[in-house]
Amino acid sequence: MKVLKSLILSCLLACLAIGCSKPAATNLSVLFNTLSVDAAGGSQEVSFLSNQSWSVRVDGDWLSVSPLSGGPSDSYQKLTVSASENPEETARTATVTLTAGDKSAQIGVTQAGAPRFTIRDFRAKKADKTTWYKLTGEIASVENEEYGNFFLVDETGFVYVYGLCQASVPSNDRSFSKLGLKVGDSVTMMTLRSEHNDMIEAGGQTPAYFVSKTAGSYKLGRKVSSTSAGWLELPATSASDGQDLLIHSFPDGSRNYAAYWDYGHLVSSWVAYPLCAGNIGTGERTDKFTLDPLLARDKQPYLPTAYKAGNAGLYDRGHQIPSADRWSYRVNLETFFGTNMTPQDNGLNANVWAILEGKVRGWAKNAATDTLYVVTGCSVKGSDKYVLDADGKHVTVPTGYYKALLRRDKDKNYTAAGFWFENRENKAASIQKSMAMSIDKLEEKVGVDFFVNLPAEVQKNVEAQDPAEVAWWWNN
């Protein structure tokens, strides 16, 4: 009996001891509480300690964890955290929460965004009619406002978009104008990769379709009524003659060219620009005639196609600053603005005028030349001829064309030469001394005061020079 009582007493004391002891404190710790995952996705392990049963929850549907629960352990346990591929360019985040007893620990997971798909990437793809690409860039110039044909650029290059519509449609529904897009806007689209006449294009027979836009502005130009800039190529301008100076720039802010715009005749009276090996550059001819973003469409010729015959037959869309004087794609686009075009007789444009343009580039790239300052202009005085743009606006046919050249050599010495040609066929095979004249004589002929930013004495001497007597022009 005593033995039984002793056992009962022992059991009671044991139970009392157990009932009075405190439960073990929860110990939960995570070795690392942040994870970084590549855009391609993948799995990583997280080590943790828990002396209690535990469970896991995840707040991102692109993230999964295994296992989702477990028991206590004196040793490190492991979770496998898996992320799916991130198709978007923006990074994303999620949280893994580990709970044990009355404690929890969080693991922050950040996944990088997918590398941006660039225009260079797009151009590298093969043309096909089934693969759609998401493409983003800035609108650089608009060729056709009805069909949504324009140039798209980013830091890697450019591509011509042949048709952009509001929604995915099998053929162009001319809805581009409803999008309210303009030069300088950033636009995202879905597009096929196509080609036409060996030119890489977005869109094509099946047009691209609009996704989103970010409003922007044209950054490479400005319009002023006159200028006090000290650029050596600039002729005199006036704030009261009804003309505006349209100044276009390189992406780095340096000047590309300036056009003196005549609203009455819808041609630039002249286009002035510096020329040297460095700013001629390399690239390809974009060959799409687009609107100048500095002017409204009704204030310039709209020339997605050639001039239509007015009262004087057909004429070329003749460049004033030649396309080949600016090969870099971003500024070559701007040589095709309607404000740089004039109705030029093909018999002049394709013959001696083209020869003169090539000669000017050669003089500019000569090793002894620092810079050649060029003014290319046209005269509309006395002209009663006109052609029509795509909207039916009258564009005056010039009576003649000229170039005024100021050359600065490596020793900062100046020479100058002027050239004038009537706007008619001229099949001369070369540029002859007899075609040249002094700047003074050219000023008398066309009524323009050239190179006004030269020091007065230098200007007087240089503009009086007879270029036929300056051997450099003819030996180079």
Domain assignment of residue 341, yes or no = yes
Domain assignment of residue 165, yes or no = yes
Q: What is the pLDDT of residue 23?
A: 62
Q: Which CATH number is 233's domain given?
A: 3.40.570.10
Q: What is the pLDDT of residue 422?
A: 98
pLDDT at residue 18 greater than cutoff 60: no
Residues 374 and 328 in one domain: yes
Percent of the chain with pLDDT over 70: 95
Domain assignment of residue 11, yes or no = no
pLDDT in tens, 460-473: 999 999 999 999 99
Task: Please list the alpha-helical segments (H only) found in 148-226.
Answer: none
pLDDT at residue 13 greater than cutoff 80: no
12 band by pLDDT with thresholds 50, 70 and 90: very low
Torsion, Cα of 45, 46, 52, 54 (10° steps): -70
Residues 191 and 103 in one domain: no
Q: Of 198, 214, 230, which closes a domain?
A: 214
Q: What is the pLDDT of residue 404?
A: 98
250 is written with which tokens? 């390189």
Domain assignment of residue 21, yes or no = no
Average pLDDT of the residues in 351-359? 98
pLDDT at residue 425 greater than cutoff 80: yes
Torsion, Cα of 465, 467, 470, 471 (10° steps): 180
Average pLDDT of the residues in 424-435? 97
Residues 63 and 86 in one domain: yes
Question: How far apart are the C-alpha atoms of 47 and 411, rounded to whole Å?
Answer: 73
CA angle 165, 171, 175 (to 5 degrees): 30
**pTM given for the model:** 0.82
pLDDT at residue 19 greater than cutoff 60: no
Q: What is the pLDDT of residue 89?
A: 87
Residues 275 and 404 in one domain: yes
CA angle 62, 66, 68 (to 5 degrees): 100
Domain count, the chain: 3
pLDDT in tens, 89-140: 899 999 999 999 999 999 999 999 999 999 999 999 999 999 999 999 999 9
Domain assignment of residue 279, yes or no = yes
pLDDT at residue 394 greater than cutoff 60: yes
pLDDT in tens, 180-239: 999 999 999 999 999 998 899 999 999 999 999 999 999 999 999 988 889 999 999 998
240 is written with which tokens? 């009261």
pLDDT at residue 251 greater than cutoff 50: yes
| Residues 287/217, Cβ–Cβ less than 8 Å | no
* CA-closest candidate to residue 393, choices 269, 267, 280: 267
Domain assignment of residue 18, yes or no = no
- Average pLDDT value for the chain: 94
Residues 199 and 258 in one domain: no
Question: How far apart are the C-alpha atoms of 319 and 474, rounded to whole Å?
Answer: 25
Q: Which DSSP helix (H) or strand (E) runs through 372? A: strand 369-379
| Residues 260/243, Cβ–Cβ less than 8 Å | yes
Residues 331 and 413 in one domain: yes
Average pLDDT of the residues in 338-359? 98
Q: Which CATH number is 208's domain given?
A: 2.40.50.200
Average pLDDT of the residues in 411-424? 98
Domain assignment of residue 20, yes or no = no
pLDDT at residue 8 greater than cutoff 80: no
pLDDT at residue 2 greater than cutoff 80: no
Residues 177 and 324 in one domain: no
Average pLDDT of the residues in 415-443? 98
429 is written with which tokens? 């095979």
pLDDT at residue 336 greater than cutoff 60: yes
Radius of gyration of the chain (CA): 36
Torsion, Cα of 328, 331, 336, 339 (10° steps): -150
Average pLDDT of the residues in 64-70? 96
Domain assignment of residue 251, yes or no = yes
14 band by pLDDT with thresholds 50, 70 and 90: very low
Q: What is the pLDDT of residue 191?
A: 98
Q: Of 76, 111, 146, which closes a domain?
A: 111
Q: What is the pLDDT of residue 22?
A: 56
Residues 80 and 131 in one domain: no
Q: What is the pLDDT of residue 11?
A: 41
Scored b (16 or more CB within 10 A) or e, 187-222 reads bebebbbbeeeeebbbbbebbbbbeebeeeebebbe
pLDDT at residue 358 greater than cutoff 90: yes
pLDDT at residue 411 greater than cutoff 60: yes
Task: Please list the alpha-helical segments (H only) found in 301-421.
Answer: 329-332, 346-349, 352-365
Task: State which residues form the domain around 270.
Answer: 221-475
9 band by pLDDT with thresholds 50, 70 and 90: very low
Task: Please list the alpha-helical segments (H only) found in 144-288.
Answer: 277-280
Residues 275 and 178 in one domain: no
Residues 236 and 178 in one domain: no
Average pLDDT of the residues in 21-27? 74
Q: Which CATH number is 52's domain given?
A: 2.60.40.10
Residues 158 and 188 in one domain: yes
Q: Of 58, 80, 111, which closes a domain?
A: 111
Q: What is the pLDDT of residue 472?
A: 97
Residues 96 and 236 in one domain: no
Contacts for 197 with CB less than 8 Å, ≥ 6 apart? none
Which residue's structure tokens are 């900062």? 412
pLDDT at residue 370 greater than cutoff 70: yes
Question: How far apart are the C-alpha atoms of 395 and 261, rounded to whole Å?
Answer: 13
178 band by pLDDT with thresholds 50, 70 and 90: very high
DSSP helix/strand/coil, 68: coil
